[in-house]
Amino acid sequence: MANGATAATALSFLARPIARIPEARRGQVGIALLTIAAVAFPIFIDSNDADVDSMANAAAYATLALGLNIVVGFAGLLDLGYAAFFAIGAYTYGILTAYQLQPPWSSFWDVFQFLGLATPVPADIGDGMVVHFTLSFWLALPLAAALAAGFGVLFGAPTLRLRGDYLAIVTLGFGEIVPIVVRNWSDLTNGAAGLNGVAAPKLFGWSFGVNSVPYYYVAIIMVAMLIFISIRLRDSRIGRAWMAIREDEIAAAAMGVDRTKFKLLAFAIGAAFAGMTGVFYVAKLQTATPEMFGFPVSVMILVMVVFGGIGSVWGVVLGAFILQLLQSWWLQDLTQWTHALGRVTGSTLLLKADFVQSIELIFGIILVVMMLFRRQGLIPATRPQAALSFEQQHAEIQRGGFTGLKLQGLGGAVRTGAVALEIKGVTVRFGGLTALNDVEITVPNGGVVAVIGPNGSGKSTLFNVITGLVDAEAGSIRFHGEEVIGLPPHEILMKGIARTFQNLRLFPNLTVMENALIGQHARLTTGVLRAILRPPRTRAEEVKAREWAMEVFAIFGNRLTPRVGQMVSGLSYANRRRIEIARALASRPRILLLDEPTAGMNPAETLELAEQIKSLNELGLTVLLIEHKLDVVTTLADMVYVLDHGDVIAKGTPSEVRRDEEVLRAYLGRNAQSAAAGMTDVA
């Protein structure tokens, strides 16, 4: 307590100057101060090379943690063999600068000599000349990054289909295989003895040698660069796609995210960071052995990420520095102090204590304690959002304003008589169960078609097969004449079919705005390079995307607009239903598939939403609707299809269907006639 109070008093003199910096500038000021401290560090420490060396190593681990954070933190893929990519980068540079691989010299190598990549040297055995590779450190950095990324794709491709926990064990397997291959492929890697004589980096002819200071600056520049790249990627279309996959893979696919592509991208970029760091690490140590890249290294990097905060860019950097310095500074100091205490007290137990060896035990404890008590890590990736003010929370509910919505993004021609969606002979089976049997449904362009039926009649399966989440055994689904069966979910969304889910599938730990932006994923074009460099075109695209999201939110009056910065998980059920519709609308669909949109809403909210759907339809949006509340169906639908046990048992206008014998039987059982009066309530 006393310490805390003193610290608070000591720090309070800082409070006033900090308060004077405008909030928006505080981050920049912080980064500026950090940069100055990082640049000045070796100057203040001048004589103590070991400390600079420790910091350079810590920075190298920070780059590894940043790479793993992209895979684990952003995309949510647990990779337990991350050190394999570190090894691939390290050996790429090692093999191409050490005296290991020495093919006989021939004229073939002249061009490499001209490029400065190889020189002839006398052979150890015999009197011929052999090749000595002399790959430049600076060239090796991007080369190793690219090579490691290639291996990332190679390892990832067969395994990314697997559930997260299996991915973990398969990556662990790859993480084990790479060092085994390195150990056993002696011709290339010199086996367990390791590569020796790896060249130090040179800058304008000056070799870094074994002086820690230049390595330190290279490492710090790498950390800064990777922090920049990580943040730029996180706050872009790319980062949002990763987080969507992390939060809910199925919903991400249904919202137009190509899961395989973006998972591989995360793997490749994470691997590239590790490959680069590998080059740096062996260049600094000037040796490489298989043991430097085993499972313990992968776990250590994971501990850094978990400790700092999964998904938190600054967090993982802090985690890496703390744990690396704990190892190289503080545990050694602690050991020395304990030994000193042991000498004074004459205790052999204290004299023998060695805390440095217990580092892995500490890692294990950190993993368990962080997971049990502080899963968000030291610096959480997301900060709690400010709650709405009293006025905002109690503001009078305004109905949706459609005057402001520029609907040119929505829908096609209004009621041209053309067919939007044509479902023919679609059959879906799950094992022995026939979920859909030879279903035929036609949705006219600009129309509203409702599908009703008892629970388990196949309604949601129908939506799943239209949106590509479930495979059809037979049949065809044509959207404006184009077959969509067989297309992956994200391509179906791109064609203009967007949906909502019966049991809400929002991205709960993202904000309302982020959810709507992910809805626009397929309509935006920013790739990795543009996300990092953020040219004017990308900035403009982001601004427009946000504007469009706000226009869509405006449909729901002031229900969502004040809450755009809030986490979805904290909002009311009805609002989450609205967000899901907004997310689907944000993708600029031509047809909207609504799966029980009013479920869980009270009568007033139901009516409000029904009106909003009606208005959307009047503005040109085609709607296919699953609904249990028959009054909603009656108000909205031009045409109703009734499903029972996977069969279409009736179709017609709402009033026709209401009188249909078979429908009544399906809904109400044998005493259909007598119960018919209660139809509206039951349905």
Partner 1 sequence: MTFADLLLQQTINGLSLGAMYSLLALGFTLVYGILELINFSHFNVFMIGSFVALWTLQMFGLSGQEIILAGLPLAGVLLVGFAVTMVFCGGLGVVIERVTLRPLRNVKGPAAMITSIGVSYILFNVVLLTVGADSKNFPNPLPAIRYHIGGATLDFRVILIWIIASLLMGGLYLFVQRSRLGKAMRATAQDPEAARMMGVDVDKVVIIAFFLGSALAGAGGMIFGLYYNFTSFIIGFTAGLRAFTAAVLGGIGNVPGAMVGGVLIGLIEAMGGQFIATAWTDVIIFSILVLVLVFKPTGLFGRLAPTRS
Interacting residues toward partner 1 by CB under 8 A: 72, 76, 78, 80, 158-159, 161-166, 168-170, 172-174, 176-177, 180-181, 183-184, 249-250, 295, 299, 302, 306, 357-358, 360-361, 363-368, 371-372, 375
Per the CB < 8 A criterion, the answer to whether 84 and 178 are in contact is yes
The distance of closest approach from Cβ of residue 381 to partner 1 in the complex, given in angstroms and rounded to an integer, is 13
Question: Which residues are registered as beta bridge partners of 71?
Answer: none
User: What is the rounded CA–CA span in Å between residue 453 and residue 633?
Assistant: 12
Nearer to partner 1, 298 or 598 (CB): 298
The distance of closest approach from Cβ of residue 71 to partner 1 in the complex, given in angstroms and rounded to an integer, is 12
The DSSP result for 44-77, as a single string, is: HTTT-HHHHHHHHHHHHHHHHHHHHIIIIIIS--
Question: Which residues are registered as beta bridge partners of 508?
Answer: none
Nearer to partner 1, 72 or 276 (CB): 72
Task: Write the CB contacts of 569 (distance below 8 Å, at least 6 apart in sequence).
Answer: 508, 509
The distance of closest approach from Cβ of residue 359 to partner 1 in the complex, given in angstroms and rounded to an integer, is 9
Q: What is the DSSP letter of 387?
A: P
The DSSP result for 468-512, as a single string, is: TSS--SEEEEEETTEE-TTS-HHHHHHTTEEE--TT----TTSBH
The distance of closest approach from Cβ of residue 476 to partner 1 in the complex, given in angstroms and rounded to an integer, is 24
The distance of closest approach from Cβ of residue 367 to partner 1 in the complex, given in angstroms and rounded to an integer, is 3
Nearer to partner 1, 294 or 589 (CB): 294
Nearer to partner 1, 168 or 636 (CB): 168
Nearer to partner 1, 161 or 659 (CB): 161
Per the CB < 8 A criterion, the answer to whether 66 and 76 are in contact is no
The distance of closest approach from Cβ of residue 486 to partner 1 in the complex, given in angstroms and rounded to an integer, is 18
H helix runs in 534-629, sequence order = 536-553, 573-586, 603-618
The distance of closest approach from Cβ of residue 569 to partner 1 in the complex, given in angstroms and rounded to an integer, is 11
The distance of closest approach from Cβ of residue 507 to partner 1 in the complex, given in angstroms and rounded to an integer, is 12
- Phi/psi of residue 122, nearest 5 degrees: -65, 140
Cα angle 524, 156, 279 (rounded to 5 degrees) comes to 95
Nearer to partner 1, 31 or 154 (CB): 154
Q: In the numeric block, which tokens belong to residue 180?
A: 């085994």
Cβ-defined contacts of 2-7 (< 8 Å, 24+)? none
The distance of closest approach from Cβ of residue 404 to partner 1 in the complex, given in angstroms and rounded to an integer, is 38
Residue position matching structure tokens 């790319």: 238
Nearer to partner 1, 259 or 590 (CB): 259
Nearer to partner 1, 250 or 599 (CB): 250
C-alpha to C-alpha distances, 578 to 184, 397, 433, 516, 525, nearest whole angstrom: 59, 14, 33, 11, 26
Nearer to partner 1, 108 or 166 (CB): 166
